[in-house]
Amino acid sequence: MRKTIGIIIVFLGIVALGFWWHTNKVAAPAQNTTTTNNSQPSTTIPSFDKAMYSNTDPSSLWVVVNKQHPLTPVSYTPTDLRTPRVTLRVAGAAEMQMRSVASTALENMFAAAQSDGYKLQISTAYRGYAYQKNLYDSYVAKNGQTAADKVSARPGYSEHQTGWAVDIRGVPDVCGLKTCFGDTPEGKWLAANAHTYGFLLRYPASKVSVTGYEYEPWHFRYIGTDLSEKLFAHHIETLEEFFGVTGSTVYN
């Protein structure tokens, strides 16, 4: 009787051991597969040459202009300005112009927007030193210098003077040059698609202390698709952060 019980116990032990071995053998490959997949990046990040263009040359595609970094010289004027073939707020005005390559990119972006059902227009693009001085002085006269510095660049410190920047409105004009533009269909389309055409939403709401300016959902800066796609893919919102350039709400 005892011999029989012993045989049964041994038999049950062998069965249990076999079941344990089979279960772990089957489960092991699944565990290894999961670990391997998780260890792979979702996308391949190519090398990127941040020194491809200057951050200080006023004619450079990647020049960084803010309250800490004025244009040098402050009277700089681009040499290849032209008027984009798009809807203009003021036809024939000099402030409708952009650098040639930026104009072409803007034409492509506006055409894509219209294809998706959104019509856009240039509010202002290039603004020379004299134009910017008159604009800034008008803000100072109306609201004082402290208030003016929050919403307008001093002459020589404006991205618009580079010919790479543009302020955009919708057609019809709803929330033009107001923060509510970011909530309009046109504003949302631009925020989601501008990077495809080489443009950056330059003054996001979360980066006021970095860029030095309040949220401007209408202000876009041309930087080329190589950089705009890079920033968008890696959720980098400002040129200052990407290039390690100082920025502030206070002028130097």
| 217-249: pLDDT as tens digits | 999 999 999 999 999 999 999 999 999 999 999
According to the model, what pLDDT value does residue 177 have? 96
ω into residue 172 within 30 of 0, thus cis? yes
Residue the block writes with tokens 């990046």: 41
Asked if residue 194 belongs to a domain, the reply is yes
According to the model, what pLDDT value does residue 230 have? 94
Number of domains in the chain: 1
Task: Name the pTM for this structure.
Answer: 0.81
**pLDDT for 29 beyond 80:** no
Asked if residue 5 belongs to a domain, the reply is no
Query: CA 145, CA 124: separation in Å to the nearest integer?
Result: 22
**pLDDT for 24 beyond 80:** no
Query: CA 57, CA 62: separation in Å to the nearest integer?
Result: 9
CA-wise closest residue to 111 among 90, 84, 91 = 84
Q: How would residue 47 be classed by pLDDT, with cut points 50, 70 and 90?
A: confident
Segment 99-115 shows an average pLDDT of 98
Q: Which amino acid is at 150?
A: K
According to the model, what pLDDT value does residue 246 have? 95
Backbone φ/ψ region at 235: left (φ over 0), alpha (ψ -120 to 50), beta:
left
Asked if residue 120 belongs to a domain, the reply is yes
According to the model, what pLDDT value does residue 46 have? 66
Query: CA 218, CA 206: separation in Å to the nearest integer?
Result: 15
According to the model, what pLDDT value does residue 136 have? 97
Pick from 10-14, 35-39, 200-204: least confident? 35-39
Q: Which domain holds residue 148?
A: 81-243
Asked if residue 229 belongs to a domain, the reply is yes
Structure tokens at 32: 């290894």
Asked if residue 55 belongs to a domain, the reply is no
**pLDDT for 3 beyond 50:** no
Q: How would residue 66 be classed by pLDDT, with cut points 50, 70 and 90?
A: very high
Per-residue buried b or exposed e for 74-100, using 16+ beta carbons within 10 Å of the residue's own CB: eebebeebbbbebebbeeeeebbbbbe
pLDDT in tens, 198-210: 999 999 999 999 9
Residue the block writes with tokens 């533009």: 181
Q: Chain-wide mean pLDDT for the chain?
A: 86
Q: How would residue 150 be classed by pLDDT, with cut points 50, 70 and 90?
A: confident
CA-wise closest residue to 209 among 248, 162, 155 = 248
Query: CA 127, CA 248: separation in Å to the nearest integer?
Result: 22
Asked if residue 117 belongs to a domain, the reply is yes
**pLDDT for 2 beyond 70:** no
Asked if residue 226 belongs to a domain, the reply is yes
Asked if residue 151 belongs to a domain, the reply is yes
CATH code, domain with 233? 3.30.1380.10
**pLDDT for 23 beyond 60:** no
DSSP for 114-167, please give it.
Answer: HHTT--EEEEE----HHHHHHHHHHHHHHH-HHHHHHHSPPTTS-GGGGT-EEE
- Percent of the chain past pLDDT 70, that is, above it, reads 82
